[in-house]
Amino acid sequence: MNKQHLDSTPPSKGFRVSLFVTCLADLFRPSVAFASIKLLEQAGCEVTVPLQQTCCGQPTYNTGDYESTIPLAQQVIELLESADYVVVPSGSCAGMICHHYPRLLEGEWRDRALQLAAKTFELTTFLSDIVHIELNGRNPVKLPTVTYHDSCAGLRELGIKGQPRKLLRELCDTQVKELQQTEVCCGFGGTFCTKMPEISGKMVGDKLNNALATEAKILTGGDLGCLLNIAGRATRQGEDIEVRHIAELLCGDLDGPAIGEGK
């Protein structure tokens, strides 16, 4: 095994998974990554976290700086390609690896990108469709009412729709209260939200209002970018709704403050 990989559990017979933490979880919400590890281990996976990881390159890529993104993409490929499976607790970062690396790279690197893409999965898809996580005698997580925001990249690039809802049903005994226009963008869009703040503000305002209309106590989703955006708007407006990543809900990690909440 690569020296950079540190085992977090003793080897098991299950799936060998490398976790790509994503820069937002690394910096803003480590609990998302720890919850992901816990869920993957519950599903019988052997999880390693390659320590040299930083960012998948979405910010520079979407800004149009392809030249700076290419070496970053190559670095991620080198770091992850030896894994059996790569799991990412974010639809947009997984989409970046699966769809945009092959588009960005050429020749041999494109082939390597495609090979990596074939074994890279967003967390809820992997738990639901590949390893088929089950409660295995554990009690379902008790949750207040939950609404779910379908993040765009996960939804449209990776087809994530039923998986998180199924997991919430099976692991938390929770039926999602659907918000109107759930498939419409929340206005995050990476650097878009700071480049065009007023338009982004209108969009996140609409998203939040639709979420509030469900009267759910928690809004969840699979992408921290969107969740930081929506949570920031919710606290700004002083709304009574918690925003948490789906990985935290699925493993019952509800003790710490929600996104944007103080102690």
**Residue number with CB closer to another protein (54 or 175):** 54
Single residue of 17, 43, 49, 160 touching another protein by CB under 8 A: 49
Single residue of 18, 20, 33, 117 touching another protein by CB under 8 A: 33
- Minimum distance from residue 140 beta carbon to another protein (Å): 26
**Residue number with CB closer to another protein (72 or 172):** 72
Single residue of 14, 15, 16, 26 touching another protein by CB under 8 A: 26
- 38 scored as a contact of another protein (CB under 8 A): no
- Count each helix (H run) and each strand (E run) in the chain, helices first: 15, 8
- 171 scored as a contact of another protein (CB under 8 A): no
CA distances, 94 to each of 72, 121, 123, 210, 254 (Å) = 15, 6, 9, 27, 25
Residue 103 to residue 53: CA distance in whole angstroms: 21
Residue of 40, 51, 53 lying closest to 12 (CA atoms): 40
Report the SS3 class of residue 56.
coil
- 34 scored as a contact of another protein (CB under 8 A): yes
Q: Segment 222-251, which members bind another protein (CB under 8 A)?
A: 228-229, 231-233, 235-236
* Structure tokens that stand for 67 in this block: 């030249």
Binding mask 82-111 for another protein (x = CB under 8 A): ---------------------x--------
- Minimum distance from residue 49 beta carbon to another protein (Å): 6
- 15 scored as a contact of another protein (CB under 8 A): no
| DSSP secondary structure of 172-228 | H-----PPTTTTS--S-TTTHHHHSHHHHHHHHHHHHHHHHHTT-SEEEES-HHHHH
